[in-house]
Amino acid sequence: MAVIVQLVQGIQGLAGKLLDPSNFGSIITTTLLALVILLVVTQLQQVLFKDKNAPPEVHYWIPYLGSAIDFSLNPIEFYAKNRAKYGDVFTYTMVGRKFTVCLGVEGNNFVFNAKLADVSAEESYKPLTTPVFGKGVVYDCPNHMLMEQKRFVKWGMSNDAFRAYVPQIVEETEDYFKRWNNETGGRADVFTAMAELIINTASRTLMGPEIRAIMDESVAQLYHDLDDGFQPINMFFEWLPLPSYARRDSAHVKMRNIFMKVIEQRRANNETHHTDMLQSLMNQTYKDGTPFTDKDAGHLMIALLMAGQHTSSTSATWGLLYLAQNPELIERLLEEQKDVLGSVDAPLTFDALKNMTLLDNVVRETLRLRPPIIMILRKVVRPVVFPGSNYVIPKGNYVAASPLATQVDEQYFKDAMKFNPDRWDSLKKEEDIGDDGIDFGFGKVAGAGGARNPSLPFGAGRHRCIGEPFAYVQIKTILATFVRMYDIRLTEKGLPEPDFTKMFVQPKLPVEIDYKPRK
Ligand code: HEM
């Protein structure tokens, strides 16, 4: 008790001194002195306590923040500048954590195919994902369970499901653009349009018609609250008492309950005709007999919603921007539709989309230049040697891969910054698995050979994206429908720059295009 009284008195005394104007001068002097000491200690630490076996470290001045500002302004320039100085593997500090980036095709392969005993995706992403997705799924369970969850998801992404989805996505797209000026055309915010259209089409197809029916009333708001809690700040400070954190937690519970209620109703009504993801997650069991519960299904549905939204909507936005920059491609896409379908009025189908090579190449090239995820992270759980070097990456560091670095490297792509979908006619595609494919439990993905492909917007190895086929169907259907409806051009502002401060790299806002209706 006496200790508490003393502590309170001490705090009162300190507060009194701080608030007394006669002490202001000495407070400023003390603060400045403390800052100088902190700066000197930060510099000495970097010089005196160097780990000789660890990769070289980027020098920084600001304690704790380290290179955070430099990095987030333009990670690509940051990597290029330091790569020239230190080589493909180096460490930088951000918000008190050490990130060892491994560049180049060897770096990609090292991070994507690292052993589970050496690195952990769960340890890196969990603070961000668990409060949003919920417990027991994705990064809140042992890796072998995630691999099985990916198998359940894959089951819901069959060609038959996609055949059903394409007309639904067309209908949603045509419906959405009724709000644009279809008499004279005009200028429109294409970023917002794609964000809304992606969530509408994902809910209509993957999530289920029941979710689409309440999208405009409740689900859109819940999604926004979840999304506000899915930002870089949540990854670094999982405990902040901010209102957005409370809104996120409440939205999580409401969203999960919505999914669970739909499952309950489908069961009660014996509805078995649905082709969507929710249906495929309703009756799954892990190989060891553990049931995949309705609560797990609700959580995994939230994970899929979040994983697919920004990634696909920013990609669709960039795709349209590149088409607006290269209008001759729009004409060629229409010609391709005529070739494959006989007319641009014939209904789009999944099988027809598969034969539209240029359309496929437009999406592929968009993802090469503007992949939404530019940093893939794993936490080092035991010291690991970077192959072919003497570098030992210490436990506790994060290893980072940045496929974007190889995707815009002249060594692999001539005129790398130019949008040229035709280059893919002669290049090896990412999904060409090759002879060394590996099955981690959800179907074969490329092994070390494929992970050395310089373009990996969907990652590689055990954590490779499970949503790629859906994303391609969704984006291709939207683009194909859009070019039937409108001719588009960039505004006088030209192509927007990427905004790297966002978790999923998006164009700097506002993102407008000029459009003219065709009919
Ligand atoms: C993982 C990219 C769309 C579901 C990933 C990863 C990348 C990626 C790079 C690997 C992360 C890592 O290794 O740490 C993309 C891009 C998309 C897209 C570029 C669209 C253009 C989707 C969609 C879904 C989805 C539509 C679901 C419907 C997932 C899931 C994972 C994942 C569940 C986690 C897999 C794991 O850790 O094992 N995505 N994604 N993604 N993606 Fe996607």
141 in a labelled binding site:
no
* Residue to mutate, 465, 470, 474, 504, ligand 1, most ligand atoms under 8 Å from C-beta: 465
Ligand 1 neighbourhood includes 376 CB (under 6 angstroms): yes
Confidence of residue 19 (pLDDT cuts 50, 70, 90): low
CB of 312 closer than 6 angstroms to any ligand 1 atom: yes
Nearest protein Cα to ligand 1, atom 3: 308
Query: Does residue 373 have its Cβ closer than 6 Å to ligand 1?
Result: yes
Q: Which residues pair with 407 in a beta bridge?
A: none
Q: How far is CA 246 from the centre of its chain?
A: 23
pLDDT band at 38 (very low <50, low <70, confident <90, very high): confident
Ligand 1 pocket test, candidate residues 119, 311, 317, 430, most atoms within 8 A of CB: 311
Average pLDDT, the chain: 92
Q: Which domain holds residue 214?
A: 126-372+462-517
> Distance (Å, rounded) from C-alpha 91 to C-alpha 400?
10
Indicate whether 388 belongs to any domain. Answer: no
- Report if residue 496 sits inside a domain: yes
Contacts of residues 483-486 at CB distance under 8 Å and 24 or more positions apart, as own/partner, are 483/323, 483/330, 483/333, 483/334, 484/334, 484/337, 484/344, 484/518, 485/174, 485/177, 485/517, 485/518, 485/519, 486/177, 486/180, 486/185, 486/515, 486/516, 486/517, 486/518
How many CB atoms within 10 Å of residue 29?
10
Closest-lying ligand 1 atom to the alpha carbon of residue 462:
38
In a domain, 231, yes or no: yes
- Tally of residues, the chain: 519
Within a domain: residue 443? Answer: no
Q: Ligand 1 pocket, 162 CB below 6 A? A: no
The confidence band for 107, taking pLDDT boundaries of 50, 70 and 90, is very high
| Dist. CA 18–CA 87, nearest whole Å | 49
Question: What CATH code is carried by the domain that includes residue 499?
Answer: 1.10.630.10
The answer to whether the CB of 407 is under 6 A from ligand 1 is no
The verdict on the CB of residue 372 being under 6 Å from ligand 1 is yes
Calculate how far, in angstroms, residue 259's C-alpha sits from the geometric centre of ligand 1: 21
Query: 466: CA distance to ligand 1 center in Å?
Result: 6
Q: Indicate the pLDDT class of residue 396, thresholds 50, 70 and 90.
A: very high
Q: Is residue 512 part of a domain?
A: yes
- Helices and strands in the chain: count of H runs, count of E runs: 21, 14
What would the DSSP string read from start to end of 156-168?
A: TS-HHHHHHHHHH
> 138 in the Ramachandran plot: left (φ > 0), alpha (ψ -120 to 50) or beta?
left
333 close to ligand 1 (CB < 6 Angstrom) = no
Tell whether 65 is covered by a domain. Answer: no
- 458 CA to centre of ligand 1 in angstroms: 6
In a domain, 281, yes or no: yes
ipTM: 0.99
The reply to whether ligand 1 has any atom less than 6 angstroms from the CB of 146 is: yes
pLDDT digits (tens, 9 = 90+) for 466-518: 999 999 999 999 999 999 999 999 999 999 999 988 889 999 999 999 999 99
Predicted confidence at residue 304, as pLDDT, reads 97
- 433/364: higher pLDDT: 364
Number of domains in the chain: 1
Q: Lowest mean pLDDT: which of 12-16, 201-205, 222-226, 389-393? A: 12-16
| Residue 109 forms part of a structural domain | no
Q: Alpha-carbon torsion 470, 113, 126, 45, what sign?
A: negative
Q: Count of CB atoms within 10 A of residue 353's CB?
A: 20
Tell me which residue has its CA closest to atom 39 in ligand 1.
Answer: 465
**pLDDT of 79-96, one tens digit each?**
999 999 999 999 999 999
Within 10 angstroms of residue 284's Cβ, the number of other Cβ atoms is: 19
Q: Cβ(177) to ligand 1 under 6 A?
A: no
Query: For 181-190, how does the pLDDT look when each residue is reduced to its tens digit (9 = 90+)?
Result: 999 999 999 9
